[in-house]
Amino acid sequence: MTDTESRIAVVTGAGSGIGRAVAVELMRAGWSVALAGRRQGPLEATAALVPEAGSLAATADVARPDDVTALFAAVRDRFGRVDLLFNNAGTFGPGGVPVEDLSYEAWRHVVDTNLNGAFLCAQAAYRQMKEQDPRGGRIINNGSVSAHTPRPHSAPYTATKHALTGLTKSLSLDGRPYGIAVGQIDIGNAATAMTARMEKGALQANGETAAEPVMDVADVARTVRHMAELPLEANVQFATVLATAMPYVGRG
């Protein structure tokens, strides 16, 4: 890890939820952060939470290769390097749709965002980290407890999160010669707009609908920061952070 003054992070999906919480945590810790997302307004709102950080708000759809190329070119022009990519942008897709009724368009949208987008950003970061001086950096992929155990009617989301685990392992192996550390954080029920329905009631594997506990998203952000600030000689390969009493371990 480089010194505090030169630590540069790219956070995708930084306009809300987990991405916003992680970006704010890093900015408050002295990182310079490129905030990436599809809408400029939410990115600027995130930047305004820590105005002294001098962050960069850059609109980009991670599923579009040209957008990703432009994003990392803008980061390189502004900051000169990339020390961290938090690969966070993602979508659940349509909720509650049985697999036999799922449209190909809906499937493709989730795959393009969660998996293809993560790959494109990791590839761009990898290229930058391999060539910069000093060489190396860290990539943290936002997985999910769905990378281990699915919810009902979640085929696209679950498939992409399982695939993301394979991508994490492969990138981690390939990055070794270049000082690129790659890990994954698997998150369960952090309190954000995307998980608000969990507290009202979520379909369970037994067919019942039950309210689920959530945790403060700030606890996720602190965990990501811990992973990010390790020296490159050390790596959290996989971390699972979840609401303690959510129905995940064992049979609920």
| pLDDT, tens digit, 9 for 90 and up, residues 12-22 | 999 999 999 99
Q: Could you confirm whether 126 is annotated as catalytic?
A: no
> Given this model, what pLDDT does residue 53 score?
95
Q: Token match 């390790």: residue?
A: 230
- Of 104, 126, 157, 248, the active-site residue reads 157
pLDDT beyond 60 at 90:
yes
> Given this model, what pLDDT does residue 4 score?
46
pLDDT beyond 50 at 3:
no
Backbone angles phi, psi at 235, to 5 degrees: -150, 135
| pLDDT, tens digit, 9 for 90 and up, residues 63-80 | 999 999 999 999 999 999
**Type of residue at 166:** G
pLDDT classification of 1: cutoffs 50, 70, 90: very low
Strand extents, DSSP E, the chain? 8-12, 32-37, 56-59, 84-87, 137-142, 180-188, 202-203, 209-210, 238-242
pLDDT classification of 88: cutoffs 50, 70, 90: very high
pTM, 2 dp:
0.93
What CATH class has 4-242?
A: alpha beta
Q: Token match 């987008």: residue?
A: 117
